[in-house]
Amino acid sequence: MPMYSNAAANSRAHWAGTAANVDVHNELIQALIEVGIREGSTFEKLRLTNPISVESNTNTVGWRLLGGTTTGVRQVGETLEPKRITNEKVIMKVDRSIYTQIQTDFIDDWTAPDFTAEYTAEMAEAHAKTYDELHMAALIKAGGWTAPGSVATRFNPGIVRNMDWATGATEDVIARAIYRAHGKLVTDFKTRSTPTSGMITLASPKMFDLLLQHPLFSQSIYQPAGVTMDSTHRMLTAMNGIRIVEVTCFPTAAVASSPMGSNFNLSADEVRAGLITFDPRVTLITPVAKELHGHAVTLEHEQRTIIGMVRMFNVGTKRGDRIGVLRDKA
């Protein structure tokens, strides 16, 4: 297109250089901030643990496991025989905090848009991710739980099983094997007289996807009225009478040295966990010394601001007799 005759003499605020041909337009920043996916904590949203506050009180929480008793039978004239109920005390300490922290310089603060909301949201998401990872590690560990000392015969141990199928099996065959393994786990709970009505099954994305290949969940004749449970909608609400939920916090690599302590280390076998069925009302306990807390400190003499978030908790097995861990094929 033709230019008017004196266009070369234009004063151009967003073009630099003697010929006004160097682009120096300001970037539009406000609407272009990329952030991570913020879902919050799965364990908190679904209430999969039992928090107990120890804030401003102690760094230790303890609870008792009672050994139970049996009935007796008496006839006229016979004396009664008292029976002792034994107990064991379990103690857990809260001695480590989990934090996130960033700092900004006054010069940057004065010359850039305010990203404080985005920064804090990212830190909160990091805390949610860590919370879920630690609780998932504790769940996996709970599968190997045995009751202590004198109450060992009162509580059944946790269950850990390896699922198996022929090498090269089709997805349909694998789905059937997973379904049968889960069904046997539920049957074993019932054989132990363990209540299953409050249980939930957490499934890794891989296990959940495989289960959706089972004809039981893809044929409409098996679906409850008004409920869609098939691979098209990636929906599955229950299996073998137990609620099932797909979660993304299953570990994918072994943990050799967790900063939270050896209780959170996971072996290569342990990270093969793909389905976990448990009773969230009794399995885990989470002593909390400090709920998630944000703070900002302005250091005028250094011309910088520190923004941080911290929470302080621990998590472990309260009772491991109501959990079963099914591991992926080795």
Query: How do residues 247-275 score in pLDDT, each as one tens digit?
Result: 999 999 999 999 999 999 999 999 999 99
**Highest mean pLDDT range out of 19-23, 150-154, 224-228?**
150-154
pTM: 0.85
- Of the candidates 115, 212, 210, which has an alpha carbon nearest to the alpha carbon of residue 171? 210
Query: Quick one: DSSP state of residue 49?
Result: S
Q: What are the tens digits of pLDDT across the range 45-94?
A: 999 999 999 988 889 999 999 999 999 999 999 999 999 999 999 999 99
Place of tokens 């007799």: 321
pLDDT, greater one: 229 or 160: 160
CA dist., res. 13 & res. 302, Å (int): 35
DSSP 3-state of 106: helix
Residue 20, pLDDT > 60, answer yes
- Of the candidates 66, 84, 262, 93, which has an alpha carbon nearest to the alpha carbon of residue 149? 66
Interval 139-162 mean pLDDT: 95
pLDDT computed for residue 314 by the predictor? 97
Query: Quick one: DSSP state of residue 30?
Result: T
CA dist., res. 178 & res. 184, Å (int): 10
- CA quadruple 316, 321, 323, 325: dihedral, nearest 10: 90
For residue 242, the cross-strand partners are 239
pLDDT computed for residue 289 by the predictor? 95
Average pLDDT score over the chain: 86
DSSP 3-state of 7: helix
> How far, in Å, are 7, 164, 229, 326 from residue 330 at the CA level?
73, 8, 29, 12
pLDDT computed for residue 215 by the predictor? 74
Structure tokens at 251: 């570990």
For residue 52, the cross-strand partners are 287
Confidence of residue 195 (pLDDT cuts 50, 70, 90): very high
Of all residues in the chain, the percent with pLDDT exceeding 90 is 64
